[in-house]
Amino acid sequence: MKISIFGLGYVGVVSAACFAKDGHTVIGVDPVDVKVNMINRGESPIIEKDIGEIIKFVVENGKLKATTNALEAIENSELSLVCVGTPSKINGDLDTSYVQRVCEHIGAAIKNKIQRHVVVIRSTIIPGTIKNIVIPTLEASSGKIAGQDFGVCNNPEFLREGTAVYDFYNPPKTVIGETDVVSGDLLASIYQNLDCPVIRTAIEVAEMVKYVDNVWHALKVGFGNEVGNICKSLGVDSHDVMDIFCSDTKLNISPCYLKPGFAFGGSCLPKDVRALAYKGKSLDINLPILNSILPSNDLHIENGLRMVMEDDNRQIGFLGFSFKAGTDDLRESPVVEMIERLLGKGYEIKLYDKNVNLAALVGANKAFILNKIPHIAKLMVKTMNEVLEHAQTIVIGNNSFEFKNIMDNLREDQKVIDLVRAVDGINSNGFYKGLCW
């Protein structure tokens, strides 16, 4: 395929060299003459393992050249990858001016082009950038319509400095956000020789993925360092601790606990976070990440409360109020916290949870209900239908299987607030509100 790559910085140079090595004909575009001249001499303008040898090879074989002329690049390519920088502004916002400027040049170049062109944003951009900046700029400059006269895709890169060539050929995933299937097909075809999953999704999802990846990586570094600070103060080998931690790929290094839902609770997580944070405080160690976990959890409970209280409905029904489905444990359940706060504000509440049956509870759980929350025990009903008959607003508190089809049993005047995405495939609308989806 004939590919043009706008921006001969780190990502652009690696992408240009590797695509050319794979047999594509690549034109690199950059306003800086020095970079363009270096590429055309077969030299790399960046320092990166193996990239110099690859550029020399592909330039000598006529697969890669560079220019400062955007029109020339567009006329001689089918697909353009935008790889310009998106640095931070002073206030922390993203500076998309380079992306916008390149889109103006590309739009002007495709204005009179007969063949359909596909523009791919590979730069890291905040969700909404393509919808609000890229597409309007391209349409205004070209006089054409995105998705019809030309295609637009988002294709975030996952390259690490120092191992970028290896990462290009061994990516964890290839993510394609597309405005239309034809454009997505064309973009996917240039990755057909890579052994990795190709994920095609909505534009905004693709834009967000890169940020989630990078922020998660940053959080892992900070978390590991805070654990190390506590371990060192206690005389514990932090690397031994984290080696054991990382060996658990069922829970620790896995998708577990990473789906958006309601706040955590139960007899372990709140207690243990609290204890470790207190230990750090007693050792005079500043642990901003660990110390923010419980406040963040409390804010999530506040979000749930706010959603319930936004409407004037006074009759509330809870389906599931143990801290998670499949258990009768109410200790530090965030749903119980919500119920208690709503009771204090005068709401009329009924509760159903098949696992929290007072007659079947024994030991610690029975004592907890009778001694700590007897007022809540009085609100419990034996069937889900009793809650549905009572409530104007129905709150789903855990993802018990019996709640999945709740939307089929609603009256016209009822609303559902789903704290755990027990109902699949629905996003917030007039009758259904998801907590964070």
In the predicted model, is pLDDT for residue 367 greater than 80? Answer: no
Average pLDDT over residues 364-368: 71
Q: Contact, 198 vs 226, CB < 8 A? A: no
Average pLDDT over residues 198-226: 97
Q: What is the spatial distance between Cα 6 and Cα 16, in angstroms, rounded to a whole number?
A: 10
pLDDT computed for residue 358 by the predictor: 58
Binding-site residue numbers are 30, 35, 86, 124, 158-161, 210, 257-261, 265, 271, 324, 331
Q: Which of 196, 246, 268, 436 is catalytic?
A: 268
pLDDT in tens, 51-72: 999 999 999 999 999 999 999 9
pLDDT in tens, 89-118: 999 999 999 999 999 999 999 999 999 999
Give me the percent of the chain exceeding a pLDDT of 90.
87
Residue 231 known to be catalytic: no
Binding-site residue numbers for substrate are 158-161, 210, 257-261, 265, 324
355: three-class secondary structure by DSSP: coil
231: three-class secondary structure by DSSP: helix
Class of domain 2-201 as given by CATH: alpha beta
Q: What is the spatial distance between Cα 297 and Cα 310, in angstroms, rounded to a whole number?
A: 20
Placement of tokens 């709150």 in the chain = 395
Alpha-carbon dihedral sign for residues 390, 395, 400, 403: positive
More confident residue, 412 or 296: 296
pLDDT in tens, 19-29: 999 999 999 99
Q: What is the spatial distance between Cα 131 and Cα 89, in angstroms, rounded to a whole number?
A: 21
In the predicted model, is pLDDT for residue 199 greater than 80? Answer: yes
In the predicted model, is pLDDT for residue 360 greater than 80? Answer: no
Task: Report the topology of domain 297-434.
Answer: Rossmann fold (3.40.50)
pLDDT computed for residue 427 by the predictor: 80
Q: Contact, 262 vs 319, CB < 8 A? A: no
In the predicted model, is pLDDT for residue 364 greater than 70? Answer: no
Binding-site residue numbers for NAD(+) are 30, 35, 86, 124, 161, 271, 331
The 3-class secondary structure across 299-311, one letter per residue, is HHHHHHHHHHHCC
pLDDT computed for residue 362 by the predictor: 65
Alpha-carbon dihedral sign for residues 47, 50, 53, 55: negative
pLDDT in tens, 317-329: 999 998 888 888 8
> Rounded mean pLDDT of the chain?
94
